[in-house]
Every structure is written in structure tokens, then in C-alpha cells.
Structure 1
């Protein structure tokens, strides 16, 4: 059963019209995390498939939640790269319908471990205009937008228009001439920045850490490498407990999360 949670989401003021209803299935705690929206073509090249997956995985390892639209191609790859427990899928239909059918197993896993969102009541089937509505919500939820591959006249480029209006940074993968004409056009016009190195880009969100560390307020505080005094002031004895558990290190008065091996 899906429920309306509009009041639980504080990042939607930038939308043209604030949603009256947003229904969900899954883990609402994901809304509290740093979020990155990833969109792109339904028919990605092998190059795009590889680096979309790697990018989503690198961001998720730093506690970032990946937001996408559960469609074939880039969307599904982004969800899979992040892992179902680190992703939010926004759909253009009611949450009682798993669409597209080929992604039904993935959607079911996201329902169980991640978060599904929709602005549409149960029983509503996707239409052309509902995908446009879906795209705006995907963009609004993310702190930034990444487009990994897109043609000029595509839904992904419509998402870019939303990001521009919302004042969000837009990032793209580098592509060869005559490939991904939409993202290459964004670079030429100076509307997007290019991701040249996956790990370097992901490091802006902190360091990769062990997957079993709980992604809570303490985790995100320590991602910023605070001083010991700052951390003790906020979290008290939790700091030393985390050190004993091997979650953080304290060196020269600086607290850092233990990196993934």
C-alpha cells in the first residue's frame, strides 16, 4: 500500500508547482541523505553502461543516494550500480504497477530495500505527460543532475531544462564526436561540467567507506573530516565507540572515516 508523504520532503520548493501528493513504498530515511540524480538514454552505449554503473557505485560507497526514473537503460543501470538500498526510483505510474515490465525484478528490490516514489495514485498507468512530471521530480530531489548520455531531442534534455530553471549543477560524461549529441551540446554551450575521473568526482562527496557502516548523521558529519573537538561537542562518547568499532580513525586531532578496502 502506498502513502502520501509530501510533507516529509523539503527539497521541492524549486519545482514549478509543488506536488500535492507524493506516494511511496520503502525506506524514507533515504530522503535524508545527500542525493544525486542520474538520467540518460534508454539505449546507452557499452561505454555509457560501464561508466554509469561505476559512477553510481562510487557515489553510493560515499553514502550518496542515487535518484533516477526506473526506466530501461541508464536509469536501471544507475539504480543497480548504487545498489537497491542506496537508491530512489521515481515512476510515472501508480506504485501498484511495476513498469516497465522488464525492470519489475529491480523495482521489487527497490521497494524492499530502497525507496519508490510517485505522484500518481494506484491504478494510474503511465502516459506521455506523466513521464514529464516524473522527470521534474527526479531532478528536484537531487542536489545535482548527471546526464551520462542523451540525444538532443530527448526526455533527458527536458530534465536538463528543469535543472537549469532550478539552478542545479549539471554534469556529463565525455563522449566522442557524433555521439551523445545532447550532452556534447551542453558542454559546447557551457551549461554542463564534464566528469573526467569517476573517483575524483565522487571524492567531492567524501571518501569511500566500508559498506556495513550506518549512513546516519554521525557518518555524514565525519565525511567532512572534522576536528576531534568538533566531533566530541556534537556526538560525545559516540566518537570513541566508533573508533573502537573501527569505523573512524583519529589522527593529529582530525576524525576520518575508515576507507573501504
Structure 2
């Protein structure tokens, strides 16, 4: 079901113009988590594909939500590696469409257990001028922007421009000379920082083991020792995060606080 967001999202204040309307499908609890935006080329090389997957997965495993635009290439890899339950996709069409169609299954999964956002009315097709608007929302939602592969004059570099204007840190993968020339140029100009060690980067943003992001109401609920199925239905995103962080444990199909 397509619904309209009726509350203010503080991160979007960084945009040039706060969206006049936002529609969504899925779990809006993800908006309250730490978030990293990951973007890049629709045709990344194998090195970038592999590291995009590893980075997104590692960030998700420590409870950080991955934000991207649902496009081919880097976006789709980041969404899949994070897991549908822990990713936010920002669409460039109305939410009655799943674009690009080749990613329709990924998008459907995110709609069910993650979050899909759009500032476009139902029926809006993919149009050239929609993508910069989509990209600005992606960048605004992320605490930082990670670019894993990009060429000059690409939409990805427009995202970098948004991030720099918003005062957000930009991180890129270190590439060989002649590959991902746009991100290499960002490093040369001092506009981005290189990620040399994935684990060290993830550690900078990881939640502490006490999991401050888990709401007190959730922990109180878990103290009543609900079944795993009950807890999953009531708090679909929080239970995964809490289990990964060691805040709860599952025994005999029941939930216990640690």
C-alpha cells in the first residue's frame, strides 16, 4: 500500500528545497537509524562490485541502514548486500512502478521489509529530470556518502556535488590509475577520503554494543519474552539489529534480553 509520510524528516532539511510530499511503502522505522548512502556507476568493474557488496553487508551487520537509488549496478548491489530489511531505496518514479524493471524483485522485497520512498505521484514514469531529484534525497538521508565507482559527467558525480554542498563527508574506494577516474580525481582534489580498510571504515559508524538506537519500548517488550515470530511481526527491523548487536538472544523460539 502506498502511503504519504506525515512527519518531518530532519535529514531532508539539508536539501535545497524540502520535498513538498513524500510517499512510501514499507517500514519508516529505518529513517531513525544511522544511515550510509552508497552510490555509483551502473557498470562498475568487478573490483567495485565485490567491495560494494562487502562494504554494504558489513555496515548492515552492525545495524547501519544502507540508502541508495535502486538503479542498476552499484545501487542494486548495495541494496541486496544490506538485506531488504535494512535498506532504504529512493525511487525516481511513482511507487506504483518498479523501475528499472530488471530490479523489480529486489524492489518488491524492499517494499515488504525495508523502505521505498518517492516524491513523485503515482503514475509518474522515469524521466531524465527525476533522477537528480531522487539523488538529492539519497544523499540527504545518508550520514555520509560512499561512492564505489564513478566516471566523469555521471549522475553519481551530481550526487557528490549535493554531498559537498550539504557539508557531508564523501568516501571513495581506492582504484588503479585509469579506473573510476572521477573518484580518483576527487581524492586528488581533496574532496573525498579513501577507504583502504573496510573493517576500519565500518568501525567508525558501528553502533556500540549497548545499541543506543534500539528504543526503550522495544527492550521492555523483549523483557516479556515474546516468541520470535511475535517480536518479528511487531518490530521487524529492530529485532534484526538487536540480535546482531547482541542486545537480545533467541532461545527455543523465544526472545530474551541480554
User: What TM-score bracket applies, with the shorter chain setting the length?
Assistant: 0.7 to 0.9
Q: After TM superposition, list the pairs within 5 Å mapping 1:92-103 onto structure 2.
A: 92-103=92-103
Measure, in 1, the Cα distance between the counterparts of 2:96 and 2:247. 42
Measure, in 2, the Cα distance between the counterparts of 1:23 and 1:44. 30
- The corresponding residue for 2:71 is 71
- The corresponding residue for 2:232 is none
Measure, in 1, the Cα distance between the counterparts of 2:117 and 2:51. 25
- The corresponding residue for 1:88 is 88
Q: After TM superposition, list the pairs within 5 Å mapping 1:239-254 onto structure 2.
A: 247=246
- The corresponding residue for 2:211 is 219
Measure, in 1, the Cα distance between the counterparts of 2:196 and 2:86. 24
- The ranges of structure 1 where at least 4 consecutive aligned residues each deviate by more than 6 angstroms after the TM superposition are none
**Structure 1 residues 168-205: Cα deviation after superposition (integer angstroms, max 9, x where no partner):** 00000000001001100000000000000111110112
The offset of 1:220, in angstroms, is 2.8
CA contact (8 A) 2:64 2:206 kept: no
CA contact (8 A) 1:70 1:90 kept: yes
Measure, in 2, the Cα distance between the counterparts of 1:103 and 1:208. 34
- The corresponding residue for 1:62 is 62
The offset of 1:3, in angstroms, is 1.8
- The corresponding residue for 2:176 is 176
Q: 1:39 to 1:178 in 2, by over 3 A?
A: same
SS at match of 1:21: coil
SS at match of 1:88: strand
The CA RMSD measured in Å over matched residues stands at: 2.6
The offset of 1:221, in angstroms, is 5.6
Q: 1:6 to 1:136 in 2, by over 3 A?
A: farther
- The corresponding residue for 1:16 is 16
Measure, in 2, the Cα distance between the counterparts of 1:86 and 1:165. 27
- The number of equivalent residue pairs is 228
| Structure 2 length-normalised TM | 0.82
Measure, in 2, the Cα distance between the counterparts of 1:207 and 1:86. 14
The offset of 1:6, in angstroms, is 5.5
Measure, in 1, the Cα distance between the counterparts of 2:97 and 2:22. 15
Matched, 1:47 2:47: yes
- Where does structure 1 lack aligned partners over 5 or more consecutive residues? 210-217, 223-233, 250-256
CA contact (8 A) 1:40 1:73 kept: yes
- Where does structure 2 lack aligned partners over 5 or more consecutive residues? 224-242, 249-256
- The corresponding residue for 1:2 is 2
Q: 1:151 to 1:208 in 2, by over 3 A?
A: farther
Q: Which moved more, 1:131-140 or 1:7-16?
A: 7-16
Q: 1:29 to 1:43 in 2, by over 3 A?
A: same
The offset of 1:75, in angstroms, is 0.1
